[in-house]
Chain A
């Protein structure tokens, strides 16, 4: 092959997102007529997750996959692209965020974030919608906010965890590999990870039996894939187009896979592992959304680019939420009716 694309991902090779990346690689290879050879690496194979952006920007590898909020230490705006917490407190859902990325200003702002704000030499696409991420795993069904806020909870860092702290929950952050051992030793009482599919593999169901799917801290979650800009621009235009369209196809791949893999995982968790699913109480929505808004305001004041992207997303929420809430409501009621009538077992 004339070109080699090495992609360092932030996920283990057992993850379904790794599979999406492999499919992306295969697609690029085939569509390029074999001119581009793609290799996909599991987390840590060349560098660890938090070093991926530097590695791609420097060209150690020419492709990478992670979430923009991994870079919020460099600039807090990262969070807004990958996982606008609690839908920005404005109910922005996953489908609307995705449409902002591909039809609205999302893609343009994302690349402005990387190239101008962070000074990274990469081109990026929001190509892996993996949300909504579940609230998490708990030792028991909690009846009140008071009970919830007593539990030491493993949360992703950044604005999601700041919002948890704001509502009074003691949060701990640790890498995925440490969750199960930490739980078994009682260091944490509850935890979230990624999705039913990935949670199943991590063995969380062996520690806790109460699973809350509906959560807000990463209710929208889109991973991005990026490519070293210098390398990308050295490709003939035809191959650049191949990569770009392959990214778009990865979106479809991921959406389809989310439903099939997560549904199968839930079935396995419930039937074989004895896991119970619970609906998240409404008090939590009110408290957490309010907390998030407060934290977002703090960042808007500090960082002008954060403010700019937030404004663009909020406009998009104003546009899309009134429609989406009706649509989502119809699906929710339809499904619930079917479940309660026994039409679905």
Chain B
């Protein structure tokens, strides 16, 4: 992991750096793991089409299985997306603000809105999953009727991961606010390369 090429600044405290590294690491690992699901999803659906048209033998499970994987797939990838600053922003004003202002606004929103609402979401999502798990609930709208709770589990799981990544983003924003510099390479501020260049120029 290469840090931003700002040699002039002191950088965040080692503990904060370490924490961000761990939190980002979890999101990236989970995101990469779930990104692989696209391959089995693809193979399952292709198998269904081939078996239906070339062997006249439609399966009853392919569509459902792909659907369950799809539900897990994008939810668990969301923290990865947040870490790379890909949840898009309305940037008209934002882009004109100084790094300090951006950091301040983001810190406030992460602390007072993002984290509390995600904690409540986690509680509700967990209950939603747990009820389904206890009933061993299956998908009724399908002839195969597979169990559904693995997919529902993706809600509390991904929200929990979103909280972890949110903590990391809070630290990053706080640092940007206090020091006027984006320290981390993939900052949460909508930017990859261009934004990074701008930061360095500012620093």
Contacts and interface: CB of A to CB of B under 8 A. Distances in A.
Nearest to A171: B143
A12 interface: no
B93 interface: no
Contacts of A75: 135
Interface string B138-172: 11111101001000000000000000000000000
Interface stretch (A65-73, A198-206, A248-256): A65-73
A157 B145 contact: yes
Contacts of A71: 140
B135 A157 contact: no
A15 to B, nearest CB: 19
A162 B143 CA distance: 7
Contacts of A70: 140
B40 interface: no
A49 to B, nearest CB: 9
B143 A73 contact: no
B143 A74 contact: no
A162 B134 CA distance: 25
Nearest to A54: B128
Contacts of A119: 131, 134-135
Interface of B: 58, 128, 131-132, 134-135, 137-143, 145, 148
Contacts of A118: 135
A73 B145 contact: yes
A50 B143 contact: no
Given A157-B140, A158-B140, A162-B143, A73 B148 contact: yes
Interface string A148-170: 00000000011001100100001
Contact of B139 (A73, A162, A165, A170): A73
A170 B58 contact: yes
Q: Is the interface of A mostly helix, strand, loop or mixed?
A: loop
A157 B137 contact: no
Nearest to A158: B140
A161 B137 contact: no
Contact of A72 (B58, B131, B132, B140): B140
Interface string A128-144: 00000000000000000
B131 A73 contact: no
Contacts of B139: 73
A157 B138 contact: no
23 contacts: A50-B140, A71-B140, A72-B140, A73-B137, A73-B138, A73-B139, A73-B140, A73-B145, A74-B132, A74-B135, A74-B137, A118-B135, A119-B134, A119-B135, A157-B140, A157-B142, A157-B145, A158-B140, A158-B145, A162-B143, A165-B143, A171-B143, A173-B143
B133 to A, nearest CB: 11
A74 B138 CA distance: 6
Given A73-B148, A74-B135, A157 B58 contact: no
Contacts of B135: 74-75, 118-119
Contacts of A161: 143
B110 to A, nearest CB: 28
A315 B132 CA distance: 32
Listed from nearest, the 6 A-B pairs whose CB atoms lie closest are: A73-B140, A73-B138, A74-B135, A161-B143, A74-B137, A72-B140
Nearest to B124: A58
A69 B140 contact: yes
Nearest to A50: B141
Given A69-B140, A119-B131, A119-B135, 7 more contacts: A50-B140, A70-B140, A74-B137, A157-B140, A157-B142, A158-B145, A171-B143
A175 B131 CA distance: 25
A183 to B, nearest CB: 17
Contacts of A158: 140, 145
A171 B145 CA distance: 14
Contact of A157 (B128, B132, B141, B148): B141
A175 B142 CA distance: 11
A121 B98 CA distance: 52
Contacts of B132: 74
A70 B141 CA distance: 8
Contacts of B58: 170
Contact of B143 (A69, A72, A157): A157
A29 B128 CA distance: 33
A62 to B, nearest CB: 18
A119 B128 CA distance: 12
A80 B141 CA distance: 17
Contacts of B148: 73
A220 B142 CA distance: 21
A4 B124 CA distance: 24
B144 to A, nearest CB: 9
A114 to B, nearest CB: 12
A175 B134 CA distance: 27
B55 to A, nearest CB: 13
A74 B133 CA distance: 10
B67 to A, nearest CB: 13
